[in-house]
């Protein structure tokens, strides 16, 4: 079992709070499907129209949130309008998430010594971090980093960087932020990849406040596993200067193997078994991905309630999603000393996991 002496308050980092934010507007799946058919129906094949009916009516997702006043406008945006919306909405949602997380942790903006922001659905230079620094009144001398290209699994590498910053600085407060405006990369056509993506992804942001004093969840260990030769299984590709999501039909089996390996690596660090883990915060991914990961690791179905509930209410928001799941687990009760594994997967192909323990 875990040797407590290996992680004392002196060398540990803690997630003191998590805040999750979505745009106020939501769209149920039936309405979203009708929008797609209305705007693109004449250019779609009968096969594509059938796939739209099947994917948008799947019971695993009830609704999703989009960072736009009128969801129909997503269908007609130019590339310039999309990146402008990404810029404005990513800063807005991320700013709200950070503000709420700091309030929940009882920390002022002036106490923040580091900020790490990750996204994959838009690229701006300078990055989102500098906008947040200005918007939130953070010190102009704090350390800030912008991470891109990690896809749906990005929140955990983000936390790893934030943890390292916290320990290197010898204290203070570091904020980890994951934000995605998936609707800003909306494309439509007869590609199965695009149909699946349009039935799955939504917008959202999440922020976590990391501190050195015991509070909330202890970051006990983390692990990552990369399979770069399978990068084409899940990635963005450029077509005519625009991002298109690419998803392989083999993705569930590929993720199943990679996720099982990274969890095995993680638990082995502390001589833990799957049965020792009371709580599992899995990235939603989609119904087939969740089922594959469950079976590959051997997670009891009853411990996936939070993952399935977040999928149903928000869809897949890419990188922030796993923090939504973790927040749900915390809100529904986790006892002092209980273990939790947070697990996310995506572009790379990669899988990342954190071993967490609730403080007393």
Q: Which residue is listed with tokens 């928000």? A: 314
* Residue 135, token pair as written in the block: 């918007």
Residue 311 Cα to chain centre, angstroms:
12
Q: Which of 98, 88, 155, 96 is nearest to 122 (CA)?
A: 88
Q: Are 344 and 283 in contact (CB under 8 A)?
A: yes
What's 183's DSSP letter? G
Q: Report the pLDDT value the prediction gives residue 237, as an integer from 0 to 100.
A: 84
* Residue 208, token pair as written in the block: 């976590």
Q: Which residue is listed with tokens 């993705």? A: 251
How far is the C-alpha of 50 from the C-alpha of 168, rounded, in Å?
54
How do beta strands 242-247 and 112-119 pair?
unpaired
Indicate the SS3 state at residue 94: helix
Which overall architecture, per CATH, does domain 16-211 show? Answer: 3-Layer(aba) Sandwich (3.40)
Q: Report the pLDDT value the prediction gives residue 11, as an integer from 0 to 100.
A: 81
* Residue 291, token pair as written in the block: 């089922």
- Cα Dmax for the chain: 65
Q: Report the pLDDT value the prediction gives residue 10, as an integer from 0 to 100.
A: 54
How far is the C-alpha of 241 from the C-alpha of 56, rounded, in Å?
28
Q: Report the pLDDT value the prediction gives residue 246, as an integer from 0 to 100.
A: 82
What string of DSSP letters covers 202-267? Answer: -EEEEEEEEESSS-SEEEEEEEEEE-GGGGGGEEEEEETTEEEEEE-TTHHHHHHHHHHHHHHHHH
Instruction: Report the chain (360 residues): mean pLDDT per 10 consecutive residues.
Output: 41 95 95 93 93 94 95 90 96 98 96 97 95 96 94 96 90 94 93 92 98 95 95 85 83 95 96 97 96 97 97 97 98 95 95 95
Contacts of 239 (CB under 8 A, 6+ apart): none
Count CB atoms within 10 A of the CB of residue 8: 9
Q: Report the pLDDT value the prediction gives residue 254, as an integer from 0 to 100.
A: 95
Q: Report the pLDDT value the prediction gives residue 233, as an integer from 0 to 100.
A: 87
Contacts of 333 (CB under 8 A, 6+ apart): none
Q: Report the pLDDT value the prediction gives residue 8, as an integer from 0 to 100.
A: 43
Measured CA angle at 94 (ends 93, 99), to 5 deg: 100
Q: Are 156 and 224 in contact (CB under 8 A)?
A: yes
User: pTM for the full model?
Assistant: 0.94
Q: Which residue is listed with tokens 């499907």? A: 33
Count CB atoms within 10 A of the CB of residue 15: 27
Which overall architecture, per CATH, does domain 216-358 show? Answer: 3-Layer(aba) Sandwich (3.40)
Q: From residue 22, how far is each of 26, 81, 202, 207, 213 by CA, in Å?
A: 9, 20, 9, 12, 29
How far is the C-alpha of 169 from the C-alpha of 24, rounded, in Å?
37
What's 26's DSSP letter? E
Q: From residue 257, how far is each of 37, 225, 296 by CA, in Å?
A: 36, 10, 7
Domain positions in the chain are 16-211, 216-358
Classify burial at 11, counting beta carbons within 10 Å of its beta carbon; exposed 0-12, middle 13-18, buried 19 or more. Answer: exposed
How do beta strands 203-211 and 173-181 pair?
antiparallel
* Residue 102, token pair as written in the block: 């700091």
């Amino acid at each position: 079992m875990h040797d407590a002496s290996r992680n004392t308050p002196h060398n540990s980092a803690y997630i003191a709070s998590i805040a999750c934010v979505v745009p106020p507007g939501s769209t149920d799946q039936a309405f979203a499907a009708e929008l797609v058919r209305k705007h693109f129906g004449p250019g779609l094949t009968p096969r594509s129209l059938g796939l739209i009916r099947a994917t948008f009516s799947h019971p695993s997702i009830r609704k999703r949130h989009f960072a736009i006043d009128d969801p129909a406008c997503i269908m007609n945006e130019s590339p310039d309008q999309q990146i402008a919306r990404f810029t404005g909405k990513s800063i807005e949602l991320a700013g709200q998430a950070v503000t709420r997380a700091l309030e929940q942790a009882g920390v002022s903006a002036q106490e923040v010594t580091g900020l790490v922001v990750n996204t994959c659905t838009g690229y701006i230079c300078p990055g989102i971090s500098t906008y947040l620094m200005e918007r939130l009144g953070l010190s102009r001398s704090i350390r800030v980093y912008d991470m891109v290209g990690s896809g749906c699994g990005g929140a955990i590498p983000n936390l790893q960087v934030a943890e390292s910053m916290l320990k290197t600085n010898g204290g203070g407060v570091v904020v980890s932020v994951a934000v995605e405006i998936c609707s800003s990369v909306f494309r439509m056509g007869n590609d199965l990849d695009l149909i699946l993506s349009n039935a799955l992804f939504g917008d959202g942001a999440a922020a976590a406040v990391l501190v050195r004093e015991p509070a909330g969840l202890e970051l006990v260990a983390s692990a990552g596993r990369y399979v770069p030769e399978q990068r084409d299984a899940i990635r963005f590709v450029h077509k005519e200067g625009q991002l298109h999501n690419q998803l392989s039909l083999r993705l569930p089996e590929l993720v199943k193997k990679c996720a099982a390996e990274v969890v095995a690596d993680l638990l082995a660090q502390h001589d833990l078994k799957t049965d020792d883990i009371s709580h599992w915060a899995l990235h939603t991914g989609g119904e087939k991905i969740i089922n594959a990961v469950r079976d590959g690791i051997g997670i009891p179905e009853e411990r996936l309630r939070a993952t399935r509930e977040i999928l149903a209410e928000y869809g897949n928001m890419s990188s922030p999603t796993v923090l939504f799941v973790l927040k749900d687990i915390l809100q529904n009760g986790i006892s002092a000393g209980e273990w939790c594994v947070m697990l996310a997967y995506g572009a790379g192909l990669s899988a990342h996991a954190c071993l967490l323990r609730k403080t007393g």
